[in-house]
Amino acid sequence: MPQLTLTYFDIKGGRGEPARIALKMSGITFEDKRVNMQQWAELKTSTPFHALPVLSIDGEVISQSNAINRYVGKLCGLYPKDALQALRCDEIMDAVEDISAKFATTYNMPDVEKKAAREKIVAGPLKLYLQALENKLQLQGGEFFCANELSMADLKMLVLCRYLASGILDYVPADVVASTAPLLHAHYQRMLALPAVAAHYA
C-alpha cells in the first residue's frame, strides 16, 4: 500500500471529505493532514492548481477532488469495476461538483446580492439537480447510486446533503433536500447511520 497523505481544510465537509471518510471506513492507513486558513495561505502556491484537496501518494502530489475520489475509491473497494457502473458513479460525483460550484460563486458577495443569488439557485438549479439526482437513485433501486452497493457516489452525496442541511448557507433552507427530494433525504439519513460515518461525525 502506498504512503498516503490527504491534505484538506480542518472542517467536517467539503470536497476532501468523501475521500477522508472512505479511507477511514476502509481502515487504510493515511495521514489526515488538516490545515487552517493561515496554513493554507502559506501552502497554496505549492499545490498544483492552488486548490485543495490534494493527495500525496509516495510523495507525488495529486489534485482534483473527483480524481482523488476515484483513486481512493479503487483502493477502498468503493469505486465500481464495471465500466457502466463507474460511469454512473462519475455522473453523480460531477453533478455534486456542479452544485458546489454554483454556491461557490456567492461566497464573497455582499449580503443583499448573496441573498438574491442563493434564492435564485435554490429555486432553479438546485431544485433541478436534486430532483434529477433523486431520479437517478430511484432508477438504481433507491438504496445506492451504483450497482446496488455503497460507492464514492453515495459518500459524495452524503457530504453535499449534510452541507445543505447544516444551516451554514444563509438563505438556503436547511430542509431543502427533504422538501425537494424526499428519497434523496432518506438516502442521506441511511448514509449518516452507517457505523463508520456515524463514528466519523461523532
pLDDT tens figures, 137-191: 999 999 999 989 999 999 999 999 999 999 999 999 999 999 999 999 999 999 9
Q: CA separation (Å) from 196 to 12, 25, 120, 170, 199?
A: 14, 5, 36, 29, 5
pLDDT top residue among 144 and 202:
144
Averaged pLDDT, 70-88: 98
What is the dotted CATH code of the domain comprising 83-195?
1.20.1050.10
Averaged pLDDT, 102-123: 97
> Can you give the pTM of this predicted structure?
0.96
Per-residue confidence band for 133, with pLDDT thresholds at 50, 70 and 90: very high
| Percent of the chain residues past pLDDT 70, beyond the cut | 100
- pLDDT of 1 reads 86
Architecture in CATH for domain 4-76:
3-Layer(aba) Sandwich (3.40)
Q: What is the CA radius of gyration of the chain?
A: 17
pLDDT tens figures, 4-55: 999 999 998 999 999 999 999 999 999 999 999 999 999 999 999 999 999 9
- pLDDT of 12 reads 86
For the chain, give every domain's residue range. 4-76, 83-195
Averaged pLDDT, 80-106: 97
Residue with cell 433501486: 141
Averaged pLDDT, 90-99: 97
pLDDT at 86 over 90: yes
